């Protein structure tokens, strides 16, 4: 029977309240052939001590203590020290929902050893102890289609699960293609996922709700706006567009991926509302250089923004995007 070692890589920083639930959700999986790599990224709270305690309680847990280098650096270090045939990334304030999730994924890999499998997630709201499922994948994606048609269908459906935490990935595939996370930037998953799509020879997305994203956590990387986040996302937009244009994609796939970048462009338009009026005028002039991306409106959310701009104009549409982003951050 196929029983590959699965490595879970968990960057740890300032999550002492949530780390136990995160780690226990993995150690309690019914599929037991795992290693859990806790990368203590110079956390100033009690996380280093909690990590060390886990190594005593369970021999499958390893700890790496390092100086703070950020999420991307911690993931890269964890991958370097991993031994599994497949790897899974998990943030220290999140968790897996069901104890048989990993067994279900391994059962699929037993049939075909994909370069990666993408799965689904729910948002977890701790104050009310409730879950909200993300958009379903099964009824939107064709079955048994090739990689290129998968990409087109993902963008068209509005479900483009680029997060590193929503995949189980063949470690040799990452290492052979030298796919890693760029250090020091917000939304690092986007460029990483574009490279993942370009290099993968086999992939699959399933509507299995595995991952719980904890919301309302002030220490979460995505919890608040900053000018650095805007600048990082603008950099990713420019870099991502260049990558898509340089890859040897068929035109329909290139159109689909540029539609995905158009969605990120809409996010940047919403970010404008966080800036003072005087600063906003300068930023707009730079951002509007990429307004042409709105022609790529395969994503239903982008096409909605295009319609709003037609009837409401630029400024009011930007303001509505800003109000929407404030509600989901």
Looking at every residue in the chain, the average pLDDT score rounds to: 90
Instruction: Pick the closest to residue 87 from 120, 54, 117, 112 (CA basis).
Output: 117
d(CA 123, CA 138): 19
Q: Which residue has the higher pLDDT, 170 or 297?
A: 170
Domains present along the chain, CATH in parentheses: 6-214 (3.90.550.10), 227-328 (no CATH)
Query: How many residues make up the chain in this entry?
Result: 329
Lowest average pLDDT, out of 60-69, 142-151, 179-188, goes to: 142-151
CA atoms within 13 A on the CB side of 51: 26
pTM > 0.85: yes or no: yes
For residue 202, the number of C-alpha atoms closer than 13 Å in the C-beta half-sphere is: 10
Q: How far, CA to CA in Å, does 294 sit from each of 43, 157, 160, 300, 320?
A: 41, 17, 17, 12, 17
Exposure class string for 168-184: b at 16+ Cβ within 10 A, else e: bbbbebbeeeebbbbee
pLDDT tens sequence across 278-310: 888 888 888 999 999 999 988 888 999 999 999
């Amino acid at each position: 029977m196929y029983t590959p070692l699965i490595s879970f890589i968990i960057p740890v920083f300032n999550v002492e309240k949530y780390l136990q639930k995160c780690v226990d959700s993995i150690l309690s999986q019914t599929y037991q052939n795992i290693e859990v790599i806790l990368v203590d990224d110079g956390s100033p709270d009690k996380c280093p001590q909690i990590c060390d305690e886990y190594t005593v309680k369970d021999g499958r847990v390893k700890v790496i203590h390092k100086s703070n280098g950020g999420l991307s650096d911690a993931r890269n270090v964890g991958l370097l020290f991993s031994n599994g045939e497949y790897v899974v990334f998990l943030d220290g304030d999140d968790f897996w929902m069901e104890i048989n999730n990993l067994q279900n994924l391994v059962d699929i890999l037993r049939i075909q050893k994909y370069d990666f499998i993408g799965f689904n997630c729910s948002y977890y709201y701790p104050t009310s102890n409730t879950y909200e499922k993300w958009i379903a994948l099964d009824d939107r994606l064709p079955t048994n289609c090739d990689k290129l048609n998968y990409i087109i269908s993902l963008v068209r459906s509005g479900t483009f699960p680029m997060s590193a935490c929503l995949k189980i990935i063949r470690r040799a595939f990452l290492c052979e293609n030298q796919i890693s996370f760029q250090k020091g930037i917000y939304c690092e998953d986007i460029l990483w996922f574009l490279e993942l799509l370009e290099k993968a020879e086999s992939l699959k997305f399933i509507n299995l709700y595995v991952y719980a994203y904890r919301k309302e956590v002030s220490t979460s990387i995505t919890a608040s706006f900053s000018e650095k986040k805007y600048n990082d996302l603008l950099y990713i937009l420019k870099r991502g567009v260049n990558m898509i244009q340089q890859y040897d994609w068929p035109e329909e796939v290139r159109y689909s991926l540029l539609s995905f970048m158009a969605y990120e462009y809409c996010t940047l338009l919403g970010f404008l509302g966080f800036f003072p009026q005087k600063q906003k005028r300068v930023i707009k002039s730079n951002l509007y250089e990429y307004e042409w991306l709105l022609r790529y409106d395969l994503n239903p959310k982008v096409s909605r923004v295009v319609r709003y701009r037609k009837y409401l104009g630029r400024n009011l549409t930007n303001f509505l995007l800003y109000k929407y982003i404030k509600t989901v951050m």
